[in-house]
Structure 1
Amino acid sequence: MINIIKGQSINELTYRALKKVTSDGHSMSSRNGNTVTLYNTELILENPRARHLRLEGRTNNIFAVIAETFWVLAGRKDIKPYLEFFIPRAPKYSDDGITWRAAYGERLYAFGQLENILECFKKDGIFTRRAVLSLYFPSEDTHTSLRDKYNLEKTLDIPCNNLLNFYVTPNKKLNLKVTQRSGDIIFGVCNVNIFEFTVIQELVLQYLKKEVDDELTMGYYNHSVTNLHLYDFTEKQGYNVIENLALQQFHLDASGTMAFPSEIKLNKEFFENLVDLITGFITNDKFLFESGVKEARAVFDYYGVKTVGNLLWDYTTSVLCFVYEKKAGQYQEIDLHHTSEEFRYSVLNSGFKKQPQVEL
């Protein structure tokens, strides 16, 4: 049996997925606790730009989601100090307390995989069936390779998401299907996974429009998960969402779009610079918000990435706000009026207690 769940936004999709899991799921035990599990599920996000989670009853940190996405796009695997600052539980998923062994970012760029996506479309045409990217590496993730390469009998970190398949349909829309073996609906699938992979979908679209066919537009996002589950220690959040929201309350506002460096080969370097910049402010007790924005703008300018009307810039300044708030213990106003309403609400629901006013 296949469970197909659709939503115009991540909020609608998450709401419907939670209802389906809690009503039709099976009680199962796991390594990490008891779960309610739904098997063989297709989650279809019809507007991938509507990726900003803001559900009453669901506590989530949009800044941590953005920061982890930057970390993935930087190709990083080290968890201290950057990732741990945003996700304090990060060391719990590390074999050595230093790195995530199966970090997606490192694998995203391994063997030129990201560049290969673009090459497939350029050489085979826009309807290529070969534009796939693997996050599961047998050379790294089988029991044999774990013993031979890492001297490990078991690991805390086997990739949950395994394959990214980019494809264009006859209406010239770029779609992305992600195959996942196992996914936690609260902290994983409907939180960071869909966010980061739809950002990558938008990134690939930019280069395909520039180098292959400028008529291409964003299609849908399909997250295919074999084991979708809700843990017993987060089930209260799931039921809170269901109890507090009615479907008719959802509305779609995903007007914000992103711009990246002009060449796909520059992306890793660009995001490495952003992560290094943010890391510097995390470790600096005298971090000034204004200097952070100035230095971030210099990174964008160096790589020719616009800031005005670029949701990626809003993501960057919002993360800087979060760092400043945690370091200085006070709020920093920032103008988000020109961006997606959905993103603004997500920011405000993550802890900003007054509407930002200052334009940067």
Structure 2
Amino acid sequence: MQVFSGTTADEAWRIAAKTIFDDAEIGVEPGRNGPVKELVHAAFVIKEPRQRWVLSRRPAMNPAFAIVEAFWILSGRNDARLVNRWNPSLPHFAGDTSSYPGAYGYRLRRHFSVDQLDRAIDALIANPTSRQVALQIWSAVDDLPATTGAPRSADIPCNTGSFLRVRQNELHWLQVLRSNDLNRGTPYNFVQFTVLQEVVAGCLGVSVGPYTHVCNSLHVYQNDLDTFSFAPKSALRSNSSLLLPKKEAFEAISIFERVLERLGDPALTGAECTDIIKHAVLPPGHHNLLLIAAADIARRLGWDDVMTEAAQGCSDPLLLAVWKKWCERWVRSRELRKAL
């Protein structure tokens, strides 16, 4: 098994990207959407999971969608409407449907008739030495292919489960995936599950330990080899914190969800967006994330002044850098469309 270890998510991702892109001996296999250059059994180790943003990926990742998806997961939802608002192309990958059957948050908090997230936190508060805290996403009933080999739906979860372990007052997190697209999936999965890790660590009153991300298949589609690349390494670091005691953490999740609902309302006006930005009562780290989600809605609706005001309020240097790269990508795409 190849292990890509780094202090930050960006560092670990860059090492993996360079390996897969440059190593001519890595085999090519058939994939769902075309041939893939694939590593079978690969892992990432991120020593500082709060440094979760992959800044190096080109084209740049969409930080607003990553943020919205993380809190959609924390809220236990599976509706397509909210996340599609920040990523209108998502139905192309996960199916054109009103709800996503493989939604991670719904699986973790509702699908199995137990709120696994809440139970895991309470169990580790009561017994921090427990080695029995495993979060289940994969469902054999819902996800195993039919006997013909056909997939059960367009949205089969790539993440299958999480394993939580408290050691020396740190929460170690092991994430297991059946399949992971290094370009289109991995940077977003890092955000999703390191956010969960940090939120749970805060609830437990412990620090955030290493994050380990194990893939049965880590791959890049051949068609993407010419369109994806990685930029020079950056020294920027994130300064946002999501560490809160359990009661405050779940209150913040609830507030964040309600604010996202308002931002995602098709009837939203520019004045309402500005009002939301100014009056949302959230801890500073959560507020930084909200500002980027709001900035992206303003961008999509053509409210340049509102977008600028929201982004300028973000005090997280790394998150702001990812946002700026995303905006540069959008500007280039817009200019290209105008030229056609």
Q: 1:213 maps to what in 2?
A: none
Please say if residues 270 and 303 of structure 2, whose CA atoms lie closer than 8 Å, have aligned partners that are also in contact. no
Identity %: 20
Which one of the candidate residues 225, 229, 233 is aligned to 2:219? 229
SS of equivalent residue, structure 1 residue 186: coil
What's the offset of the Cα at 1:252? Answer: 5.3
Q: 2:258 maps to what in 1?
A: 273
Question: Structure 1 unaligned runs (5+)?
Answer: 146-151, 210-215, 354-360
What's the offset of the Cα at 1:60? Answer: 1.7
Give the aligned residue type for 1:200.
Answer: L
SS of equivalent residue, structure 1 residue 333: helix
Q: CA RMSD in A?
A: 2.7
Q: 1:317 maps to what in 2?
A: 291
Please say if residues 289 and 321 of structure 1, whose CA atoms lie closer than 8 Å, have aligned partners that are also in contact. no
Give the aligned residue type for 1:256.
Answer: S
What is the rounded CA distance, in whole Å, between the counterparts of 1:105 and 1:8 in structure 2?
27
Please say if residues 203 and 244 of structure 2, whose CA atoms lie closer than 8 Å, have aligned partners that are also in contact. no
SS of equivalent residue, structure 1 residue 59: coil
What is the rounded CA distance, in whole Å, between the counterparts of 1:108 and 1:166 in structure 2?
14
Please say if residues 74 and 271 of structure 1, whose CA atoms lie closer than 8 Å, have aligned partners that are also in contact. no
Q: 1:10 maps to what in 2?
A: 9
Offset from partner CA, 1:123-179 (integer Å, 9 cap, x none): 3x222101111111223223469xxxxxx973111111011111122x321110000
Please say if residues 256 and 290 of structure 2, whose CA atoms lie closer than 8 Å, have aligned partners that are also in contact. no
Which one of the candidate residues 121, 145, 169 is aligned to 1:118? 121
Q: Given the superposition, is the C-alpha separation of residues 51 and 19 from structure 1 closer, same or farther in structure 2, using an over 3 Å criterion?
A: same
SS of equivalent residue, structure 1 residue 108: helix
Give the aligned residue type for 2:222.
Answer: D
Question: Structure 2 unaligned runs (5+)?
Answer: 330-340
Please say if residues 86 and 296 of structure 2, whose CA atoms lie closer than 8 Å, have aligned partners that are also in contact. no
Q: Given the superposition, is the C-alpha separation of residues 29 and 56 from structure 1 closer, same or farther in structure 2, using an over 3 Å criterion?
A: closer
What is the rounded CA distance, in whole Å, between the counterparts of 2:101 and 2:173 in structure 1?
25
Which one of the candidate residues 195, 203, 209 is aligned to 1:207? 203
Give the aligned residue type for 2:277.
Answer: V
Q: 2:40 maps to what in 1?
A: 39
SS of equivalent residue, structure 1 residue 236: coil
What's the offset of the Cα at 1:205? Answer: 0.7
TM-score (norm 2): 0.85
What's the offset of the Cα at 1:92? Answer: 2.1
SS of equivalent residue, structure 1 residue 350: helix
Q: 1:356 maps to what in 2?
A: none
What's the offset of the Cα at 1:254? Answer: 2.8
What is the rounded CA distance, in whole Å, between the counterparts of 2:200 and 2:241 in structure 1?
13
TM-score (norm 1): 0.81
What is the rounded CA distance, in whole Å, between the counterparts of 1:141 and 1:34 in structure 2?
23
Alignment of structure 1 residues 215-294 onto 2, 5 Å: 216-238=206-228, 240-241=229-230, 244-245=231-232, 249-251=233-235, 253-259=237-243, 262-263=246-247, 266=251, 269-280=254-265, 282-285=266-269, 288-294=272-278
What's the offset of the Cα at 1:20? Answer: 1.8
What is the rounded CA distance, in whole Å, between the counterparts of 1:352 and 1:260 in structure 2?
34
Q: 2:101 maps to what in 1?
A: 101
What is the rounded CA distance, in whole Å, between the counterparts of 1:137 and 1:183 in structure 2?
18
What's the offset of the Cα at 1:113? Answer: 0.2
What is the rounded CA distance, in whole Å, between the counterparts of 2:292 and 2:202 in structure 1?
23
What is the rounded CA distance, in whole Å, between the counterparts of 1:272 and 1:340 in structure 2?
21
